[in-house]
Chain A
Amino acid sequence: MAKKIIPALDFKGDWNYSPAPEDTKHINLQKQYELFIDGKFVKPAKGKYFDTINPATEQVIAKVAEADDSDVNKAVKAAKTAYDKVWSKMPAKEKGKYIYRIARMIQERAREFSVIETLDGGKPIRESRDVDVPLAANHFFYYAGWADKLEYATPNRVSKPYGVAAQIIPWNFPLLMAAWKIAPALATGNTVVLKPAETTPLTALKLAEIIQESGLPPGVVNIITGAGKTGAALVNHPDVSKIAFTGSTDVGKLIQKSIAGTGKKATLELGGKAANIIFEDAPINQAVEGIVNGIFFNQGHVCCAGSRLFVQESVADIVIKKLKDRLETLIVGDPLDKNTDIGAINSKEQLNTINKYIKIGKDEGAEFYQSSCNIPSKGYFCRPTLFINASQSHRIVQEEIFGPVLTIQTFRTVEEVIEKANNIPYGLSAGVWTDKGSKIFNLTTKLRAGVVWANTYNKFDPTSPFGGYKESGFGREGGMHGLMGYLKF
């Protein structure tokens, strides 16, 4: 008997959401931003500036100072002086008060921060409003609480801060990463020189304004902007005793080489290529949702993104069918629109990288699928993309793409999926979907990944440690573990 043809679900229809752009009038942005050193905004020594652009419109938002070696030196000296003269002598309880104050001020200005984060980085306003900014404030709150309780974090051991921490953060979660770095460093008594990524410096500079207003002693936090050269100068400065870096594995390796033999401590949070594993007994509809959150959150610019999907063969067809239908309901477009699910790719360079991998994937022969959504003609956008029937030997499976591109592989047994999930140079995160608790625990012990989510994905909390194995780096951020990277014994 001929199989009945069932018409596909239709997600277009007549009832569509009108544009609902977030208001941008309330934000306060300058045309030009300086370096924040020793509590003041100062011009760069050479007077050089670079543009930061809105990736959704390709328009320049502001000019930002480029710090050279002498600026870096000034910032580190300021941090050193602040550490020696003020911060190391201040009672812990007082230090905590400043951190609490910063947390509250972020909350008060959450709306402004969300809009600027979206303008500068391209992420949807829904995410910057509901995830990035509240989490950033929560990190400051959480570590503020630790400031005067460190002896309980390390019982029977006397801990000391390192001194000046150099912190270099990426462009995917600009404010949140600044919070991840600054909050524990201050709570443990270190002073900070932070360098945001060159494509997304604005929220860190707005944070500098808050820090200035908060009355935090000058020099305790310095924020300098620039590209790789500025970062290198910061890492190599002799007065820096601790380096915290989040970014690419390549740069992480460079940092490790350059600090070898110097006695500088480092924590590195690098790339990832996480396995998201769906078993046949999983709650399938929620698992599909988890796949979407795992790979399309923040346009896939997430180091712990669930970019390798493993589906048990018995449910592979239905999972892929449901996933394709779900992609049709994702709205790609203006990041400022409250209904946008997937915003702009962070930069032209990153879009080129993603497109390069899409081409590689097609050439390698995996089945290419993209949603049928419209994307704006201006700005950097990429449709949510699937590569079905990918295999372990494909480059798109082995290498971090850092975009909305998901590879799909099937598996038959638990042993097989563990082997494939671990068969990668990275080990940052993983996801497991099953209704069976014992299966979850079996996998969490065998997956070589720093974070394993069970029946959920991309969940973050200040109390929970985060970090990786192998080429995904070392050291943990968040939670009590996050304190240890800033303490010596």
Chain B
Amino acid sequence: MAVLRIPDFSKSNTIDQVGIEERCSRFQTRSIKKETKVQGLKMVLNMIDLTTLEGKDTEGKVKQMCFKAAHLHDIYPGLPTVAAVCVYPTMVKTAKDALGAAKIKVASVSTAFPSGQAPLQVKINDTKFAVDNGADEIDMVISRGEFLKGNYNFVFDEIATIKEVCGKARLKVIFETGELSTLDNVRRASEIAMYAGADFIKTSTGKISPAATMPVTLVMLEAIRDYYYHTGIMIGMKPAGGISNSKLALHYLVMVKETLGNAWLNNQWFRFGASSLANDVLMQLMKEKTGVYQSSDYFSKD
């Protein structure tokens, strides 16, 4: 096998913010109507990581959310399920049991989510616990402090270590882009994570504002494309936090379609980390079906 040459991350590609924003507004002028819209909305549902990440999470809450994940809106026949549920490591077992045979993955945040301020051994144990409990996917956070200090090797090694602990679980690496401050940093973090073994790169924890934005996501999608051009390896993308309505979600799909192409338009390679997006998508789908909007009381809030 060819040896992957690791680039010098201090020399990663530069990003022009104005250009990125312009391209994003161009995606938003795409008109998504009729069949394209229905098809797109179903795709969005199927890409959602239904999430609960609160200090007050309980087994009861997680179980209910898992039921929702498998039964989004049973009145509407033929709807897909979400892609995964995303919970804290202590809830992985509960989620796994609740989902049973449903083909829905369990993702667990780890590595002292959301701050990542813990010793490496703690992060390893955290991840190991989640994997041992049956997590299919691990959402780790990077050490933003070390990154901003320029300690890229530290960040790289940490990701590589966690990847090893993951075993068969797919690894999503969260940058918390709201703390990285520049798009150049987002690009650099993307390169570090991909070369260190990330299966997915993810924008945010949802605990910091701004969370996912279109410009940040575009920078990451372009990094994924450049990595693909270079290595032929596909990396997944997960914007998380702040995407709560259908129209915006469809614009994200347009962005994926026009940046990476068709191969990425499925939940193997693209996810939305969101808690309230699903119901808005369901509302739009029902509107397309019946011609009228229904109130939010017609959609279950689990």
Chain A residues in contact with chain B, CB under 8 A?
1, 4-7, 9-18, 20, 126, 130, 281-287, 289-290, 318, 321, 329, 338-339, 435, 455-456
Contacts and interface: CB of A to CB of B under 8 A. Distances in A.
A325 B15 CA distance: 19
Given A13-B262, A17-B30, A6 B36 contact: no
Given A15-B36, A15-B40, A286-B19, A329 B258 contact: yes
B227 to A, nearest CB: 11
Nearest to A5: B232
16 contacts: A1-B2, A7-B232, A9-B228, A9-B260, A10-B262, A13-B265, A14-B262, A15-B36, A15-B262, A17-B30, A17-B31, A20-B31, A283-B13, A289-B22, A321-B229, A456-B19
B29 interface: yes
A283 B16 contact: yes
A329 B30 CA distance: 12
A4 B232 contact: yes
Contact of B43 (A1, A5, A15): A15
B14 interface: yes
B30 A339 contact: yes
B289 to A, nearest CB: 17
Contacts of A5: 232
B148 interface: no
Nearest to A284: B13
A15 B265 CA distance: 9
B257 interface: yes
Contacts of B23: 286, 289
B167 interface: no
B247 interface: no
B262 A12 contact: yes
Given A1-B2, A9-B261, A15-B39, 10 more contacts: A6-B228, A6-B232, A11-B257, A15-B262, A18-B35, A18-B37, A130-B29, A285-B222, A286-B18, A289-B23
Interface string B34-47: 11110110010000
Interface residues of B, number: 37
A15 B257 contact: yes
B206 to A, nearest CB: 27
B102 interface: no
Nearest to B221: A285
B154 to A, nearest CB: 26
B36 to A, nearest CB: 4
B262 A4 contact: no
Contact of B13 (A11, A130, A285): A285
Contacts of A289: 19, 22-23
Contacts of B122: none
Contact of B34 (A18, A318, A321): A18
Could you say which of A9, A14, A285, A287 has the most chain B C-beta atoms within 10 Å of its C-beta? A285
Could you say which of B16, B23, B261, B262 has the most chain A C-beta atoms within 10 Å of its C-beta? B16
A456 B18 contact: yes
Interface string B244-270: 000000000100011011110100000
Interface of B: 2, 13-16, 18-20, 22-23, 29-37, 39-40, 43, 222, 225-226, 228-229, 231-232, 253, 257-258, 260-263, 265
Given A283-B16, A285-B13, A286-B15, A20 B33 contact: yes
Nearest to A457: B19
Contacts of A286: 15-16, 18-20, 23
Contacts of B40: 15
Nearest to A282: B14
Contacts of A435: 14, 16
B135 to A, nearest CB: 30
Nearest to B31: A20
A385 B268 CA distance: 35
Could you say which of B14, B22, B231, B258 has the most chain A C-beta atoms within 10 Å of its C-beta? B14
B298 to A, nearest CB: 27
A11 B36 CA distance: 16
A133 B60 CA distance: 57
Contacts of A282: 14
B265 A290 contact: no
A283 B33 CA distance: 34
Contacts of A290: 19
A69 B282 CA distance: 66
Contacts of B43: 15
A287 B265 CA distance: 25
A17 B254 CA distance: 9
B187 to A, nearest CB: 9
Contacts of B13: 283-285
A455 B124 CA distance: 44
B218 to A, nearest CB: 9
B73 to A, nearest CB: 21
